[in-house]
Chains A and B, each alone.
Chain A
């Protein structure tokens, strides 16, 4: 998947190995426009696991490579999460899952098989939609999908009263738009979407969404298939407040701009997490990207930069929820409580490098990695936070219009 490319500056093998880890970080092996051949995906993932890099991560998980339907019942807690989204047991460090199992005595099946929101929804729809249950006790969909699942009545309320550490939840994440009562979801990690760029290819610093439409970068621009991140940025650039948007009309001009850019050949590709590869090889001069990915990539390749554009960026959260009928409520509560302990949360943050939803992580992280503890993309200042907006929870029919228009433009 990542053939080391000798012709690219700063592109030695160790960096590619590192970027591979990040490549897998959020949207999984392939998050590109609804890639939907699970078997092929599995084949691709399997091959990655076999790659000689030492940080293959999931190999050290107790049940990381299990099929999504495996295990779950029988009193063993089953958490199905995005790949590379928790610190594994590696080298001399014990991973969070293993620490939890040792401390609580609960048997936990942690699977890294949540690859794509849309694909996952398509998988659970026939089951939850007909009143059946699914195997995992906890899943971590992105906030907009949490909102949809709540509206569909496919989630159980969390056993919040058994999670005293919920007091550590960041204040700005209390009662979010996707879960107004805060009873159904507890954020796992959060982050921003902004503009990622390769300064070797752009030749200058970028700070505005308008830069993505600069004719100088024709055919060198990437956008995300995650509709709310791409459209969120474009709508903010059009002056639309995405945190309160409720109609399709509000997005019409942003959609037109996107369509014109696509027709002009300005946009090279709509990608999932594979944008990192295009960015580091220079296929993309700039693209819409996710903060945590770029933090890691930038450490190894200083040419890669990330900026939350002056017009504003989006903020998102992946939140733990319990599907309707999930069996192991007590164990799930203990797990959530464990992860909301700042000491434990700091261990996760040190490895995944996203914005932790747990207050007090910064102080704990200082003890582990002082440099990371002052990284503005992990601990954004107030000015940054003021420029980021969470996409409003769209009504079902409005969301359908957005999705259809976006699919029409992305060329599917």
Chain B
């Protein structure tokens, strides 16, 4: 295969692939489009890495596949070196994409394919190490029928917690961004500081704070709020620990920084002259906020919502320590199926259903709020 033919560069327009099957002898000898080499090499290498990563090819075949992967990289370099400036210009994006794409192929796509295969497999015996792939769609109906309640609670708690983090996080970010002055850095630091402690420890600490004889129920009781909170269903009699409210509260507490920080970033970028201009035009503060500041900060709210809702819907730590047996959520069920029941196929199916539902939510959500200028 000869690749170098600089004479053709001048007639080959970058976007024109339609003349690839030209009728002149010169066109027949024309080198393969560098873009195709780039794209083909990228896809081939990605596919090979997925095959190796999922162990669909093993042993000698895996070595050959890895050698081929390496070959596509060499091919890219050879094409670039021999192809002249135009070819290099075309091939550069693929070369730059390659490390990231190959990383994703091996560490994201391959595990995903493995999970998908597992979710369609059957365990030959209870303690079998390997599930056998046999298109067992029954795992998916098990996931839906046996764990419907856990799915509902998982998403319900996450949704309520996400709304609460917006209600708490937005004013917090607003005050820091616009009223923080020279203390901005310090205030942001204070949001981050709890992260120096383990997530688990922070959640377990709430067990002590919310315990029946702990400080929070005592204070609520002393100020006479307990009957009210009991009536609206936040407290269950005299207890708040091990209720749905405690689970949602734990999620809200743990995910608040993930909401506040993106909102802060988008608020901080807003040019305050716009607000001044609005006021010059006789807009009140409230109207200026809702027509200027809030729309401009939506990308932050959007990012914060994703960062909060997605992990919160799969979270099981808060339910584990702050919930009760009637508040179990899907994340807990998945880890139980994986590690207690040793039921890899059903656990995989549940994970896939969870991912699918989250994806649908995110797609619908992004239709409404848009991601065009996601901060």
Contact = CB atoms under 8 A, between A and B. Distances in A.
A and B together in one complex = yes
Interface of A: 1-3, 5, 7-8, 30, 32-37, 40-41, 43-44, 47, 118-119, 122, 125-126, 129-130, 148, 152, 219, 262-263, 265, 267-270, 277, 281-283, 396-397, 400, 403-404, 407-412
If over half of A's interface residues share one DSSP class (helix, strand or loop), that class is named, otherwise mixed; here it is helix
Nearest to A400: B126
B335 A36 contact: yes
A148 B127 CA distance: 10
Contacts of B214: 5, 7, 281
Contact of B336 (A37, A148, A412): A412
B215 interface: yes
B200 A40 contact: yes
Given A32-B320, A43-B200, A43-B201, A7 B341 contact: no
A195 to B, nearest CB: 19
Contacts of B239: 219, 283
B208 A3 contact: yes
Given A5-B213, A7-B214, A43-B198, A34 B336 contact: yes
A408 to B, nearest CB: 8
B242 to A, nearest CB: 5
B237 A219 contact: yes
Interface in B188-208: 198-201, 204-205, 207-208
A91 B230 CA distance: 51
A91 to B, nearest CB: 29
Nearest to A218: B237
A125 B127 contact: yes
A32 B319 CA distance: 12
A118 B325 contact: no
B211 interface: yes
Contact of A268 (B201, B208, B242, B341): B242
B328 A412 contact: yes
22 contacts: A1-B205, A3-B208, A5-B211, A5-B213, A7-B215, A30-B200, A32-B320, A33-B332, A34-B336, A36-B338, A47-B198, A119-B339, A122-B339, A267-B325, A269-B324, A282-B211, A283-B242, A396-B125, A396-B126, A400-B126, A407-B341, A412-B335
Which 6 A-B pairs give the minimum distances between C-beta atoms?
A411-B328, A412-B336, A411-B325, A3-B208, A129-B129, A43-B198
B320 to A, nearest CB: 6
Contacts of A396: 125-127
A412 B333 contact: yes
Contact of B204 (A1, A37, A262, A411): A1
B326 interface: yes
B241 interface: yes
A407 B340 contact: yes
A126 B129 CA distance: 6
B212 interface: yes
Interface in B159-214: 198-201, 204-205, 207-209, 211-214
B86 interface: no
A72 B324 CA distance: 40
Contacts of A8: 213
Given A34-B336, A269-B242, A263 B200 contact: no
Contacts of B208: 2-3, 5, 281
B54 interface: no
Which of B125, B128, B199, B207 has the most C-beta atoms of chain A within 10 angstroms of its own C-beta?
B207
Given A32-B320, A270-B325, 6 more contacts: A5-B214, A122-B342, A282-B213, A283-B212, A283-B239, A411-B332
Contact of A33 (B126, B200, B204, B320): B320
B335 A1 contact: no
Given A1-B201, A7-B215, A129-B129, A403 B341 contact: yes
A395 B285 CA distance: 73
Contact of B325 (A34, A122, A269, A282): A269
A349 B294 CA distance: 66
Contacts of A130: 129
B136 interface: no
A36 B129 CA distance: 18
Given A2-B208, A7-B214, A283-B211, A40 B199 contact: yes
Contacts of A35: 320
A8 B215 CA distance: 10
A152 B237 CA distance: 49
B114 interface: no
A148 B340 CA distance: 14
A404 B147 CA distance: 13
B218 interface: yes
A270 B319 CA distance: 12
B201 A265 contact: no
B268 interface: no
B101 to A, nearest CB: 28
Interface string B264-303: 0000000000000000000000000000000000000000
Interface string B318-352: 00110011111000110110111110000000000
A332 to B, nearest CB: 25
A40 B316 CA distance: 13
B236 interface: yes
Contact of A219 (B128, B236, B320, B336): B236
Contacts of B327: 411
Contacts of B205: 1, 3
Contact of A118 (B126, B242, B339): B339
Given A40-B199, A412-B336, A125 B342 contact: yes
Contacts of A281: 208, 211-214
Contacts of B335: 34, 36, 412
Contact of B201 (A47, A118, A408): A47
A260 to B, nearest CB: 12
Contact of A265 (B128, B209, B326): B326
A277 B128 CA distance: 37
B127 A152 contact: yes
A393 to B, nearest CB: 15
Contacts of B237: 219
A125 B339 CA distance: 11
A47 B208 CA distance: 17
A52 B202 CA distance: 19
Contacts of B146: 408
Contacts of B204: 1, 44
